[in-house]
Structure 1
Amino acid sequence: MEELYQQRLQRYVTAMNNGKPDKIPIRPFVAEFAGKYAGFNCQEVTHDYPKGLEAIIRCCTDFDWDATVVNMVYVWTGLTQAIGLKYYGVPGIDVDPDFGFQYLEPPEDRPNMLAEEYDLLIDNPTDFLSNTWLPRVAEDVRAPGEPNTFRNNLSFLKGGMAMLNYFNALGAQGERMKNECG
């Protein structure tokens, strides 16, 4: 398996560096297809990320791909729901369980960002995103000076723990893909 992995890695890196690989590398981004192929609907792989990881292993085993991402469904609801993100339509909650997540437009009278705020974003992106934009797009995040609750404070803890759990699983998934799929 290591030899196959090295061949694919060399092929992919050569192509990325505008070299001439031994053959054209295949690196699909098939998103929800992977889950569907493995027998899961979009709701399942969005809410239960280990199913999404398993779907990738199944696709990598069954297809001769040179490279792919470790999880096709990058919007795991453990992260989005921890802080109450409002701009995602979540499969099985906001949209049909068989549809991938959807971006939701804010109401016209409450945009996520105003045209006159671009300079604020450019001048200090961290401040703007943390103190202005995030409170607008997340139910459980409050802007400085707004009333705060225990739930608001816990949203960052929940989000951080969810992110740690998810990203730790992605590292192990990469190693598993290398060892089991090449």
Structure 2
Amino acid sequence: MAKELVLASLRMERNPMAIPIADPSKLGIDVKMLKKLDDHIELGPMYVVPKSKREIMDRLAEQIITDFESRGAVESQEDEDREEVFAHRVVSMTKTMYEDFLTAFKRYEQEFYGLRDELVDQYDEMIEEFRSLYCKATGCDEEEWNKIKKMIPSQTQFRDSFKISLDRAPFVLTSDGLGES
């Protein structure tokens, strides 16, 4: 007798407050040398959220994904090109496995939103620390800082960018043995 299967979809998002580096020379990086090293080095964005805080969130996300994927067969892994989406997985599992994960998910959800709230509480300090470090390193003026500030989401936008969801749909076996949802 076949067990009842479900397709479960896990999705997590957040805005990492990434600021592209428009002019590497302002950071003391030789643009000519950077072009010579083009095949060997990639200059990424700067982040308003400190690395230590991003790593905590990344570890939690990895823990949630690993737990989720260990409970069934991974159907798809879609990490979209948007930097805000750091996980979207679809897994087929039994209904019992889903219900077990749902219990764990409720704890993960509390931890995820708890980390979000902690970051939101530190929003003003993170912005000020970033501004101070960036302007000391680049010698930016008020006009330049205002351009950068426009790239940073408001505290409410930042808070609202944190999303975690778990959805399910029935998994139906067809006569050819291939599943449909």
Considering the TM-score relative to the shorter chain, is it more than 0.5? no
The structure with higher relative contact order (CA 8 Å, sep 6+) is 2
Q: Highest Rg: 1 or 2?
A: 2
Range into which the TM-score falls when normalised by the shorter chain: under 0.3
User: Which one has a larger percent strand, Structure 1 or Structure 2?
Assistant: 2
**TM-score using structure 1 length:** 0.27
User: Which one has a larger percent helix, Structure 1 or Structure 2?
Assistant: 1
